[in-house]
Each structure stands twice: as structure tokens, then as C-alpha cells.
Structure 1
Amino acid sequence: MNQALMVCAIAFVITAAIGPAVIRYLRKMKFGQKILEIGPKWHMNKQNIPTMGGFMFIIGIAAAVLAGNLLAGGLSVSSLAILGLSVAYGAVGLVDDYAKIKKKENAGLTPKQKLVLQILVAGAFILVLFLNSDGMPQLWIPFTDITFSWPWPLYIIFAAFVIVGADNAVNLTDGIDGLAAGVTLPVAVFFVFVGMARSDMGVMIFAAALAGALAAFLIYNFNPAKVFMGDTGSLFLGGAVAGLAFACDMPLILLLVGLIYIIETLSVILQVTYFKATGGKRLFKMAPIHHHFEMCGWGEKKIVLIFSGVTALLCLVAYFCALMPNL
């Protein structure tokens, strides 16, 4: 626990300390967010607020993970693998953000380009898991004591689907001030305790760094936001969440602790499907669903606090009801 708190503190201090400098640099480079005209009209006042602010917590997490490994007296393959996956996805987001800024519109990489890059990154992470494994991959079913092995070819397809899906789900959740960071913070704390319960130093170190850095980032990103994380930050977070789940051999736990991400994604799928099936009618006032609640009159702070609170509750259920009997 002491080591987790130390890593968390390092990530928090570094992220909070470099925040103002990162925001000044982004303003200087005119890396401002472009707002979609089809979005809520009141979002137009966010036009040109600095984006790509995810850099501040990426730097804080990377530094804290390296420091945590040094304090542990050695390098943890799992923590470095999760960091590598997250940074690689952050790099995909960086390319996407830069393309948006260059085009001066809220459209960067094409969906096909982004998907190909995400699959390649997922493939590299799975390769690391394979090289570091000593047998068949295991899959644990939450709320049971059932764990089964399956062939690597099937596992690779499953893992790529889950990792890419989780990455895009977190990306969709990043739509209002503080939402993606606020929802991911309790998930990070959840994995800190999972890492401690499993005596997995690598998972604990990375999750603690993630929690500390996100808490600091919210100083600048909570409504009214001074900076947005951009795809640079949201895709990094998606990789972090997926990487932690696979490092713990419990990707299915994301169905519970990541329920908000899933609901956000399903709202988009349902909206598009219903729109096409009915010739233009909408199931929600706007998707992803956080925008629907905005259009219903909910303030951004209310949405963030409720979505984050629901995630925190689900994390408690996942830990005490699903994990504890099996640890």
C-alpha cells in the first residue's frame, strides 16, 4: 500500500506541476479544440480551448511508473507492457488530433485508418503477452470460480476485439468536461486493489500512477475545463484500462467496471441503427448518451458526478462480490 501511495503521489505532483506549462504551450501552438456544429449549441463557447492536454497525465504516468519500478528494485514486464500499449494508443490519438488541427475541423483520421492502427497496436501488446506467458491463456468468468484455457489463435482474436473496443469506448466517453477522466479514476483505483490482492506489483504500480495522474488532470479538466485531453489522452486511457484488465487475466470484468463506457458505445450504435431503420428518426436526443442528458437539461458537473459515482459503485461490487471470493 505504501508503494502504491508513493507512486500515486509522484504521478499527481508531476501532472499537476507541468499542467500550466502544457496548457501555455498548447495555446502558443494554437492547438485548440474545434467544436462540431451538430453538437449542443452551448458547447460552441469551448471553441479553441487547448486540446491534446492528455500529454500532461501521460508524462506523469510514465515518470511515476518508471519511478515505481526503481523503488521496487527491478523492472515489471506487466507495467511496462501496459504503459507501452497506452502510449502507442496515445500516439494514434496524437496523429488524429494533429490531423484535426491541421484541417481546422473536428475530423482527423478516417475510421478505417484509426481502426487499422488500433489493431496493429493491440497485436503488438498480445505478442508481448504471448512471449511472457508460460502456457495457454486463461479466461476467468466474473462471479464464478470458473477459469478456462483456450487456444492462442482464438484468444488473439478475442483480445484484439476487446482491446480495440475498449479503446474506442473510452474515446466516445470523452465528450464533456472531466467525464473520461472522472469515470476512469475509480477504475484505476479498482485495479490498484486488484494488483495488491494478487501481489502483482506491475499492475499495482501502473494503476496507482494512472489514478494519481487523473486526479491531477481533473484540476484542469473539470468543468469549466481549461484544457481537453483530446484523442491523445482518451485513446491512451482506453489502452490503459484494457491493458490492466488483460494483465490481470480478467478482461470480462470490464463488462462491470467499464459499464459506462459500454453504455456510451451502445447509445451510438443504437442511435445510428435506429436512424437508418426509421428513415431519420432519433432514439436519443443526441449520442453518445451523455449528450442526451445534456439536451434533457442536466449540467456537465451533474453528469460527470453521476457517471463517475455509478462507476465507483460498480467497482466496489466487482471487487467485493466478483473478485474477493476468487482471490
Structure 2
Amino acid sequence: MSDIVARARVLADDVLFPQAGAVDDAGAVPSVTLDTLAREGLYGLTGPASHGGLAADPATVHAVAEAMAGGDLSTAFIWLQHLTVPAMVTGSPLADEWLADLCAGRRRSGIALLAATRPQPVAITARREGDTFVLDGGVPWVTGWEHVDVVLVAARDDDDVVHFLLVDAEEGPTLTAVPQQLVAVQASSTVEFRVSGHVVPASRLVRSVPLAAWQARDPGNLRANGSLALGLAARCARLAELPQLDADLAAVRARLDAAGPDQLPDARAAAAALAHRAAGLLAVAVGSGSVSAGHPAERLAREAHFLLVFGSRPAIKAALLHRLGGVG
């Protein structure tokens, strides 16, 4: 899998980073950029080879995500959400219909999974009515709205079973998407997603999992988001010409890779804190230019701020407060 990692690094250096400032100014990732990722096979990174995917191991997924984040975080953010869906669809009743298109990037996806990770209140509820599910509720963050065909929605029923459904990304009387105004990655097309009496065919059910079973494995799913912080920190280190940060990057990366579920929150906090520190060092190295709107150091500082809270959990927040300010 070293070939796909090498290709991702070239793509990040030659395409994504040179246009990142323009993407940030425009507030939109060009569709042609995502088409390029699809042609490179990156949409199929987590999909099975039987359906055109790359069946990448976790280390490869993390290395590619790190490279992409070091190119343009908005683009990486949209693309990374998609990777959950081929992995979830694999082995499901929807595999034959959906997997080949998902792996090729002909169908692109976002995720709305808060109902699977937050105990109360339930973000999105589901009730079964014959051959349909009826969904009510909403989540504050669904990324890539203008670039996705479907959203993998987690919805919970009265028995605390989580149903994962593929919902068409189309607004209407029962589904709305309100753009979020963010200090960074505004180009990621992140929206507040709401449904009210929204009917989804039961044929779109990917799988159903008891809430307790899903939450028991959730801490083990935190590793990939740490790669975003590592990628940003590595870009800052290169721009600031501070190779001494390489040892810190290697140490945090190794810690993330070795961490079990109980250690992952603190390892994630270490990655976010490193990105925050690296962005600060870049600002100091650049000097007064770093506070000029549109300078890469200014954008990367905003993105490092974003990564302090993105994909967080209470344990990550507590660890970051301790690391950054000695709180707790």
C-alpha cells in the first residue's frame, strides 16, 4: 500500500496545498478536486477489492489521511467522512448495489452518526412503519453536503437499537440542511442536518446495532481523526523549517498507533495539542505576515483551532484542558 500513500503525498503537495488558500477564500472545494481524488482511487481506500476498493489496512488509511490533511484540510475533511460508508456497507445487504459506485467515487457519501455516540438526548430517532423507517431529529454537523449523494444516518429506536440508513442528500419538506458558518474549513460544505417525519425505505438499511454494543467499540474508532492533526502539524513544521518538530510528530504518531481504546482519547489530545503548537510556531517564524488574511500561517492557525474541538469526546476535552492549561 506504499504506492497509494506516495500518490496521496504527491497530490497533497502538487495540487491540494497550492490551491488551499484559494479554496479557503472561495469557501468551496472545487468538484474537479474531488473528481481527482476519485480517479486516484482514494474514495475506495476502505472498500473491498472485490468491488474495486483498495482494502487498505489501518496504517495505510492513517498515512493517506495525514498526507491529505497536510494538503488542504477542507478537502480532506469531505473525503474522510466518505471512508466510513464503504467500510460499513461491506458485508451488508446493500453491498452488491452500492459498493462498486462508492469505491469508485461515482456515489459519494457523508455521515450523521451522533445518535450512535451520544447517550441522551437522542439526536435522530427512528420508528419502523412497515417497509419504511420514519426519522425525526437532527445533527449539527454533516460535511460535504454539496458534494455527496447520500448520508449514512444513525437513528435510534425506543429499544436503544441504532439503525444505520443511507438517506438521499436531497432537501425537501421533511429534510433540511442549513449551512454552518465556521472559522475554518468553511469550504467543507458543513451543514446542520434536520429531518422531520422523513421516510426512508427499509431497503436502505445498512445494519442495526444495539447502542451499548456500538458505544463499546466507539473509542477504538478515534484514531483516524488524529491523522488530520498530524498532517497539519507536519505542514506547519515544513513551512516554518523546524525539523526539530519531526521527533514530536513521530512520537505522537507512534502513541496514536499503539493506543488501545482507553489510551486513545489522551493520544488524540496530544495530536491536537501538537497541531496547535506547530501552528503557533509557524506564526512566530513567519512574523507579522502571519496575521495577514490569506497567509498560509493564518489559515493553518484557524484550522489548528478547529482541530482542538473536531471529533471530540469528553475524555479528549479533559485531556486537552490538562495539556494546554493544567486544568483537571
TM-score (structure 1 length as normaliser): 0.28
- Higher-strand-fraction structure: 2
If asked which structure has higher relative contact order (CA below 8 Å, sep 6+), I would say 1
- Higher-helix-fraction structure: 1
